[in-house]
Structure 1
Amino acid sequence: MKHIAIAMAASALLVAPAIASEHGGHAEAGAHGEMTTVATDQMIAKQRELLATNTRGKGFGPQSPRDIDSAAGNNNRMFNAAPAFTEMNLCNIHFHKNAEHKAKDFSIYAGNGDGHGYRSGYKFDTSGLSKAELTPIKHEVCNSHHGDGSLQVGDTIEVHYVHSTAQVTPGPTLNSCLSEAIKNPQLRVETQVYVLVNDKHALDFGKLTKYSKNKGGLYQATGIPADTGTPVQYEGSTTGPGYNENGSPFQVTWSVRPHVAKVNIATVGKWCEKNDFNEDHGHGVRNLVINPDLLSKID
């Protein structure tokens, strides 16, 4: 989720892992302008080592993303869980290419990628999808200029529906989750992982990302799936590859649904062309946090 100080704090926070992760990438161009993988296991191990060193003894709270099937964690830095999302304002929606979190349904490692968040993360096993669902499309969808290229049928995305206790209006980046009146609102991220399929009868991403204001004056996401398992709630932080070597100072309550839903890739492409959040591609992912001293215990 998020990135650096206020303006960047917005990015840094969770919605725009874009700032730190999308600047200064070191992937190398391949034969067709595509980016080749440069990260090694040693590079990822070094990033994890630096994260441990840069957070040790400094009081950082639990971090994200994590394996939601593992409840273990030694970080006891406490903060109050955010209210239910139905009692908060939706402030941002964005997605990551490949899942940042890991669970049984999305546990295939995409690889180390470029070491800066692209072409890494976790994927859904598409072997159970039909030939029709996996039929390639002929046009670009949510094309990224960070080595990922266009989204393809069979790709996995993790969508973050970010909520805030501040009185705000949904919009771009984490700035939309803060206000002049409240600079430290409670934050919650409702999370759903999707697999992209070539099927007009699959879920419509436009409907999945719809929102409206309820009678109580709160902006609510009205399309979050309710049939993808009981969300795993835990205390963590903002994400995004900008925090691969440094801890995130932001406290976030996460609700991650354990099962994957199918979404029509064409509707994702349409959403990338125009939406209220100025999102046009999938963000990079932060390395999975595995250091128990940086993880909360899941009750």
Structure 2
Amino acid sequence: MRRALLPLLLIPVLALPAHAEGELCVGFGPQTPRDIAQRAGSNPRVFSPAPPASSMNLCNIHTHTNAEHKGPGFSVFAGEGEHGGYKCNDTDALTPAELEDPSHGHGGFHGAKPGDTIEVHWVYSSCEVFPGPGLESCVPATCANPQLRVESQVFLLVNDPEALDFADFNYTGSRVDGHPQPRALPEGSGTPVVFGGSTTGPKYTQEVCSPLQVTWSVRPACLRLDISSLYAWGLRGNVFGENHSHGVRQLVTAPELLSPIN
């Protein structure tokens, strides 16, 4: 997951063992990201699913460019490495007007521009926490054995004020039944695929596993998001300290590292 889970992932939860190049990091729980259309997995670690997001505390929002997961609506391979991942299927169908950058290269959210695909992660914790920067906001030292959930939506960034507004999915201080919550989570992109996995981000690979256990809820279709609304989120500042989009962890494909999807 990236500073989103780069600090997110820099927490010294467990020491990661060294592995030879090409050697799978077996012995850990199931890993993420994955192809959500492929349900097979043989990782033997099982953990209880996290409660619904509405019953947990929102602790972080961050983005990755491109999509870390592969799904029915975002299956165009964008390359290897932390700047690879997957693009929305409709990327090549965008018009010149939709690809025009209203900021002329000086947008308030770095690492994202019209035509890019981003994967947004809303991270939730069972700990008594408040929204803030990095995974340390989700897993404080005072909270033992937290449950974590990530709600994920892939967006295609377009120059179009009629597209979705990122402000509608931001955290603005609201609480529901005592739990910090975003204004809303995206709808209209299909029934989320729910599975057990880990945190993500480019520091992890199939040879270096994340030790944290996360319940994932990944929506299978892309939605279009107005790039100006994302620029505004970064430019105005936000409680998460986010002003740029982060790199990706390459797709986990080894069955030994994946949980079965029911």
| Larger RCO, structure (CA 8 Å, separation 6 or more) | 2
2: CA distance, partners of 1:178 / 1:248: 14
In the alignment, what sits opposite 2:88?
124
Return closer, same or farther for 1:78/1:211 CA change in 2, 3 Å cut-off: farther
The amino acid that maps onto 2:186 is P
Aligned counterpart, 1:160: 121
Q: What displacement does 1:271 show?
A: 0.9
**Structure 1 residue 282: Cα displacement:** 0.8
Instruction: Find the partner of 2:46 among 78, 83, 89.
Output: 78
Q: Is the CA contact 1:228–1:257 (under 8 Å) kept in the aligned structure 2?
A: yes
Aligned partners of 1:140 and 1:151 also within 8 Å: no
Are the counterparts in 2 of residues 20 and 241 from structure 1 also a CA contact under 8 Å? no
Distance change (3 Å), C-alpha of 1:17 and 1:168 = same
Q: Do structure 1's residue 278 and structure 2's residue 260 form an aligned pair?
A: no
SS of 2:156 mapped into structure 1: strand
Identity of aligned residues (%): 47
1:265 equivalenced with 2:227 (yes/no): yes
Q: Distance in 2 between matches of 1:127 and 1:143?
A: 23
Structure 1: how far apart are the matches of 2:124 and 2:198? 13
User: Is the 1:18–1:240 Cα contact (8 Å) retained in structure 2?
Assistant: no
Taking the aligned partners of 1:215 and 1:188, their CA distance within structure 2 comes to: 17
What is the one-letter code of the residue matched to 2:65?
K
Matched, 1:192 2:158: no
Residues 109 and 233 in structure 2, CA contact (< 8 A), matched pair in contact too:
no
Change (3 A) 1:151 1:179: closer
Secondary structure of the structure 1 residue equivalent to 2:181: strand
Contact kept, 8 Å, 2:87 with 2:116, in 1: the verdict is yes
CA distance in 1, matches of 2:36, 2:9: 25
Residue 239 of structure 1 corresponds to 200
- Which whole-Å CA distance do the structure 2 matches of 1:86 and 1:19 have between them? 22
1:231-275 Cα deviation digits (max 9, x unpaired): 000000000111123111000000000111111101111111211
| CA pair 297-152 structure 1, distance change in 2 beyond 3 A | same
The DSSP-based 3-state class of the residue aligned with 2:203 is helix
Query: Aligned equivalents of 1:142 and 1:289: distance in 2?
Result: 32
Structure 1 residue corresponding to 2:37, chosen from 43, 49, 69? 69
Per-residue deviation, 1:17: 2.7
Q: 1:20: how far off?
A: 7.0
Q: Does 1:17 align with 2:9?
A: no
Q: Using the alignment, how far apart are the partners of 1:215 and 1:187 within structure 2?
A: 18
Q: Indicate the SS of the match to 1:162.
A: strand
The aligned amino acid for 1:251 is: Q
Counterparts of 1:153 and 1:97, CA distance in 2: 12
Greater percentage in helix: 1
TM-score by structure 2 length? 0.88
SS in 2 for 1:196: strand
Match of 1:294 among 252, 257, 261: 257
Q: Secondary structure at the match of 2:238?
A: coil
Corresponding residue SS for 1:127: helix
**Distance in 1 of aligned mates of 2:257 and 2:174:** 36
User: In the TM superposition, what is the alpha-carbon distance from 1:135 to its structure 2 partner?
Assistant: 2.5
Q: How does 1:1-150 map to 2 (within 5 A)?
A: 1=1, 15-17=4-6, 49-50=22-23, 52=24, 55-56=25-26, 59-112=27-80, 115=81, 117=82, 119-125=83-89, 126-137=91-102, 138-142=104-108, 144=110, 150=111
- For this pair of structures, how many residues does the alignment match? 249
Q: Is the CA contact (8 Å cut-off) linking 1:105 and 1:260 kept in structure 2?
A: yes
Give the aligned partner of residue 16 of structure 2.
none
In structure 1, list runs of 5 or more residues that go unmatched. 3-10, 22-45, 145-149
**8 Å contact from structure 2 (residues 73, 88) kept in 1:** yes
1:133 and 1:197 in contact (8 A); partners too? yes
CA displacement at 1:295 relative to structure 2: 0.2
Counterparts of 2:249 and 2:191, CA distance in 1: 24
1:243 partner SS = coil
Taking structure 1 as the reference length, what is the TM-score of the superposition?
0.78
Q: Which amino acid aligns with 1:123?
A: K
